[in-house]
Amino acid sequence: MQTRRAPLDDLQEIVGTENVREATAEDAVDGVEPSLVVEPGSTEEISAVMKLARSEGLAVAPRGGGTKRTLGNPPRELDLVLSTVRLDEIIEHVPGDQIVRVQSGVKLETLQESLAEANQILALDPPEKGATVGGIVAANSSGPRRYKYGTVRDLIIGITVVLADGTVAKAGGKVVKNVAGYDLSKLFTGSLGTLGVIVDANFRLHPRPESARTVAVEVETPQAAREAAQAIVHSQVEATAIELHWSESAKLLSVLLESIPAGIEAKEEGASFLLKSFGEVRTLTDEETDNLGPLSPPGEEDEVALKVAAPPAELSAVLDSVLGAAERRSVRPRITGHAGTGVTYVGLSGGEDALVEVVEEVREIWVRRGGSVMVHDAPTSFKRKLDVWGAGGDYLGLTRRVKEKFDPGYTMNPGRFLGGI
Amino acid sequence: MERGRLIATMQEILGPQGVIHEREQLRTYECDGLMNYRVIPELVVLPESAEHVQKIVQTCYDEGIPFVARGSGTGLSGGALPVEAGVLIVLSRMHRILEVDLENQRIVVEPGVINIWVSQEVADEGYYYAPDPASQIVSSIGGNLAENSGGVHCLKYGFTTNHVMGAEVVLPDGSVVHIGGGKVPDAPGYELLGAFVGSEGTLGIATKITLRLVRKPESVRTVLAAFKDTQEAGGAVSGIIGAGIVPAAIEMMDALTIEAVETQVAPGFPEAGAILITELDGPEAEVASQFDKVIEVCEENDASEIRIAEDDEERALFWKGRKAAFGAMGSIANNYYVQDGVVPRTELGAVLKRISELSEDYGLRVANVFHAGDGNLHPLVLYDNDAPGEAEKAEKLAGDIVFVCLEHGGSLTGEHGIGEDKKKYMPKMFTDDDMNVMQLLRCAFDPHQICNPGKIFPTPRLCGERPGPFHMHPVQKAGLAENF
């Protein structure tokens, strides 16, 4: 697609010469190359950049660590990448209040290291390395610990955003309990940069678990995987994560247990007891646990990665549907999943047309049953053949109305989101 | 629409039993739990199904009539205060539990279902519904959703918003949408459900709600500790949290509250300057060890008495005393004003000191009962309505108390909502731009501002629509154009 030439001089005036540069192929989003990359250093600069972009009719993609550039549909157009790399300050961490306020460009690893000094964590553990807080919020990234702690929506307590017209707005606050005004921090969670630029976000924190063990059972069949996960879910063990790892070579259901030193052994015994009727149970060494990761999503080169969301008790049916659809087309899937929460990631390699058929078949099954099948990662050529999000529900019209109130000109990441938003 | 015709239309939808239009009967609904605002609605309707709600809302939309939804009417910020010339939609007849799906830990209910019914429904299976506002024996799930209700156990388990997983919603234009995945996580698209929960009835009416059920913990332990004053009790709270413990609940009451509670329900609390009730739950070994630590911390902070609940009965007694706190104020004062503010936990001591100074300045007693773990204060300002000017003084004092909360980095409300009561204070917490951006969401859901209009925001924003009462454009009425 032909992109327009962005007004370099004006941008330089706003953010300084050194903070604007010509884009390279590295900056492309799903094959669409922007003209320029701008790195504003403050809320005011972002606001000025957005005002300029809007008046010049430039399409803008906010970017944090750039780890989710393949998430979503290819953008309809893209002129300017707005990088949050310079917004790298942890604004306020109050251990006694168990809250942190952080600029969107801070990398999660950096934040966790800092929080660890006070024996606290932000209970988010998405698998990708180098992701920023803002990117994690915008993509609603999650990991195994979501079973216990929930996802971004459950941990975010406040936000500051800049809309496409440059308006700066905040919602929520820095207290965990707060019902004043609409909860825009949740609305921006998972909005993939289509509603505005996230400048900073506030989170509730948790104490850092003192002890951890991972107990795992080898499962032979989808049914056994389901039953084993259900046994933990309905027990009083209070697991932190229940993960499935399913490939040709190994089929494992692992349970992450966290507690204080006085509590960990009882949890380990409890979980082992519950799992032993499904196969051989053992406690994994640290090395084995590390080797299980990254637990999700697979997403290797040229691989198509799907995220299947279904009721958690349907785990065996999810596996059956994926395995069946893949086998009929001689495709070998790699599967990992958050078995306790109903999220299953599937990695597929093979001919593109066969993979499209697999996705369509699995999607048809799970959309009919109230779930969703999203293409989480795929080559651009694959995305041209299939909408990555699927159709969306009866809320699509409302979704579009929300978009058009926040960004009537479709300045922000046009085309990447559900329904071509 | 002329009143007689509106009544006839509603009766056609609901039958004669479903429409209340006589003035004396309408008075019953003139306020919710916040009784200093009263408005008699034009009409009260009592739908029994989602279809009823859809037809009522459709009629209101077509005719440009404002409406307000109401559950059990226990709200404390006037969120269900009727609007004049508007329809009040009372959802208490929609009280069916539609589905229990234990395998997926979900329950699907209608909005009029009472909070406590949900836990009762699944208790035998070892499950419960975690959000437990003090009003839980009367307040409805629909109302809890609208207000994002908290409760004493939300420190560990989260608020209503963390437990509502899906909702069928009648939007203000009469269309029906399903938001949130319900049994399925991560529905594609915007997090509309997260924005809807806690929107105080201004974005639509939930007609079917999917809730998360939580497995009952293996072990529960509760301790009540008495302290010289709230500062010392506050020290214990900091010590417990600082030890990396996340209690299921940690609640504080000051001397005045204890006195009131004793007069009213006599739970046999010790005489003290402050009482702290701490509850831990979870796996036995973990709870046992952390419980010892809690007691140690209380002792270190010079607790004058420590009582451990020996059984469920004693635990229930502790909680009965706590949950009776608001109502009990009636036994020591003619009138009282319930405030709801939040401060960062580390600011509790400083804020309590300011409240006590303000109380002296105003010459009015203030009782404090609060969720200490999350810094959610409920100062109760005691006054006498018969004393000239005292009611106004009490309201002013209550206002000053929330301003103190804001000065210390807190919030106007932790669980009671903004509603009618606090909209005038919103500019103290949010800029015009903040509120305008929030109202963009309102405009996407309710462009004609007919759904619980006038609540939350001091200055309603027009949505690029014509001001004044809404009249549908003839082209739109004829089905020739979309909403424009």
Size of interface A-B (CB pairs under 8 A): 273
Arithmetic mean of pLDDT over chain A: 94
The nearest alpha carbon in chain A to B190 belongs to A191
Which CATH number belongs to the domain containing residue B134 in this structure? Answer: 3.30.465.10
Asked if the structure places residue A395 within a domain, the reply is no
The proportion of chain B whose per-residue pLDDT surpasses 70, expressed as a percent, equals 96
- Is B304 part of the contact surface with chain A (CB cutoff 8 Å)? no
- In 3-state terms, what secondary structure has residue A186? helix
Q: What local confidence, expressed as pLDDT, does residue B465 receive?
A: 53
Confidence of residue A112 (pLDDT cuts 50, 70, 90): very high
Q: What is the rounded average pLDDT of the residues A217-230?
A: 97
Which CATH number belongs to the domain containing residue B382 in this structure? Answer: 3.30.70.2740
A288 and A245 in a single domain? The answer is yes
A194 and A94 in a single domain? The answer is yes
Which residues in chain B have their CB less than 8 angstroms from residue A270's CB?
283
Cα–Cα distance between A136 and A189 in angstroms, integer? Answer: 8
Q: What local confidence, expressed as pLDDT, does residue B134 receive?
A: 87
B227 and B315 in a single domain? The answer is yes
Which CATH number belongs to the domain containing residue A376 in this structure? Answer: 3.30.70.1130
Residues 6+ apart with CB under 8 A from B8: none
Domain boundary among A207, A241, A269: A207
B118 and B208 in a single domain? The answer is yes
Asked if the structure places residue B113 within a domain, the reply is yes
Which amino acid is present at B479?
A: G
Domain boundary among B277, B305, B331: B331
Token duo for residue B183:
């049994």
A131 and A224 in a single domain? The answer is no
Evaluate if residue B139 carries a pLDDT over 60.
yes
Cα–Cα distance between B305 and B225 in angstroms, integer? Answer: 6
Which CATH number belongs to the domain containing residue A268 in this structure? Answer: 3.30.70.920
B129 and B211 in a single domain? The answer is yes
pLDDT tens readout for residues B407-418? 999 999 999 999
pLDDT tens readout for residues B338-373? 999 999 999 999 999 999 999 999 999 999 999 999
Evaluate if residue B236 carries a pLDDT over 90.
yes
Asked if the structure places residue A202 within a domain, the reply is yes
Cα–Cα distance between B80 and B88 in angstroms, integer? Answer: 8
Q: What local confidence, expressed as pLDDT, does residue B293 receive?
A: 97
User: Counting every residue, how long is chain B?
Assistant: 484
Cα–Cα distance between B386 and B365 in angstroms, integer? Answer: 16
Interface test with B, best of A175, A268, A372 (most B CBs within 10 A): A175
Alpha-carbon separation of residue B342 from A376, B194, B358, B368 (angstroms): 39, 21, 17, 13
Which residues in chain B have their CB less than 8 angstroms from residue A97's CB?
344-346, 375
Domain boundary among B331, B365, B389: B331
Interface test with B, best of A51, A170, A177 (most B CBs within 10 A): A177
Question: Does A177 contact B159 at a Cβ distance shorter than 8 Å?
Answer: yes
A53 and A22 in a single domain? The answer is yes
A179 and A215 in a single domain? The answer is no
A55 and A73 in a single domain? The answer is yes
Q: What local confidence, expressed as pLDDT, does residue B468 receive?
A: 40
Asked if the structure places residue A282 within a domain, the reply is yes
Question: Does B190 contact A167 at a Cβ distance shorter than 8 Å?
Answer: no
Report the domain count for chain A.
4
CA distance A157 to chain B (A): 12
Q: What local confidence, expressed as pLDDT, does residue A6 receive?
A: 53
**Regarding beta strands B219-227 and B249-254, do their DSSP bridges make them parallel or antiparallel, or are they unpaired?**
unpaired
Which CATH number belongs to the domain containing residue B245 in this structure? Answer: 3.30.70.2190
Domain boundary among A172, A207, A242: A207
Asked if the structure places residue A394 within a domain, the reply is no
Alpha-carbon separation of residue B44 from B24, B94, B100, B170, B246 (angstroms): 12, 15, 31, 18, 44
For B20-29, B256-265, B305-314, B466-475, which range has the lowest pLDDT when averaged over its residues? Answer: B466-475
Asked if the structure places residue A403 within a domain, the reply is no
B206 and B262 in a single domain? The answer is no
B138 and B231 in a single domain? The answer is no
- Is B403 part of the contact surface with chain A (CB cutoff 8 Å)? no
A288 and A339 in a single domain? The answer is no
Taking a C-beta distance cutoff of 8 angstroms, is the pair A206, A133 a contact?
no
Evaluate if residue B474 carries a pLDDT over 70.
no
- Is B385 part of the contact surface with chain A (CB cutoff 8 Å)? no
Question: Does A169 contact B286 at a Cβ distance shorter than 8 Å?
Answer: no
Token duo for residue B193:
């459900």
CA atoms within 13 A on the CB side of A381: 6
Neighbouring CB atoms inside 10 A of A193's CB total 25
B228 and B327 in a single domain? The answer is yes
Cα–Cα distance between B469 and B448 in angstroms, integer? Answer: 9
Asked if the structure places residue B413 within a domain, the reply is yes
- In 3-state terms, what secondary structure has residue A419? helix
Asked if the structure places residue B237 within a domain, the reply is yes
Asked if the structure places residue A52 within a domain, the reply is yes
A217 and A283 in a single domain? The answer is yes
A145 and A105 in a single domain? The answer is yes
Asked if the structure places residue A2 within a domain, the reply is no
Asked if the structure places residue B436 within a domain, the reply is no
A69 and A152 in a single domain? The answer is no
Confidence of residue B467 (pLDDT cuts 50, 70, 90): very low
Asked if the structure places residue A299 within a domain, the reply is no
Domain boundary among A292, A314, A331: A292
Residues 6+ apart with CB under 8 A from A405: B440, B441, B443, B444, B463
Q: What local confidence, expressed as pLDDT, does residue B184 receive?
A: 98
Asked if the structure places residue B449 within a domain, the reply is no
The proportion of chain A whose per-residue pLDDT surpasses 90, expressed as a percent, equals 91
Q: What is the rounded average pLDDT of the residues B167-194?
A: 97
Q: Which domain holds residue A24?
A: 8-84+408-416
Evaluate if residue B393 carries a pLDDT over 80.
yes
Arithmetic mean of pLDDT over chain B: 94
A184 and A260 in a single domain? The answer is no
- In 3-state terms, what secondary structure has residue A188? helix
Neighbouring CB atoms inside 10 A of A117's CB total 9
B157 and B106 in a single domain? The answer is yes
pLDDT tens readout for residues B309-324? 999 999 999 999 998 8
Which amino acid is present at B200?
A: E
B268 and B205 in a single domain? The answer is no
CA distance B193 to chain A (A): 8
For A125-139, B390-404, B468-482, which range has the lowest pLDDT when averaged over its residues? Answer: B468-482
Q: What local confidence, expressed as pLDDT, does residue A41 receive?
A: 98
- Is A218 part of the contact surface with chain B (CB cutoff 8 Å)? no
Domain boundary among B404, B429, B454: B429
Q: Which domain holds residue B374?
A: 333-429
Cα–Cα distance between A287 and A289 in angstroms, integer? Answer: 5
Alpha carbon distance, N-terminus to C-terminus of chain B: 22
A140 and A152 in a single domain? The answer is yes
Asked if the structure places residue B435 within a domain, the reply is no
Asked if the structure places residue B438 within a domain, the reply is no
Report the domain count for chain B.
4
Asked if the structure places residue B357 within a domain, the reply is yes
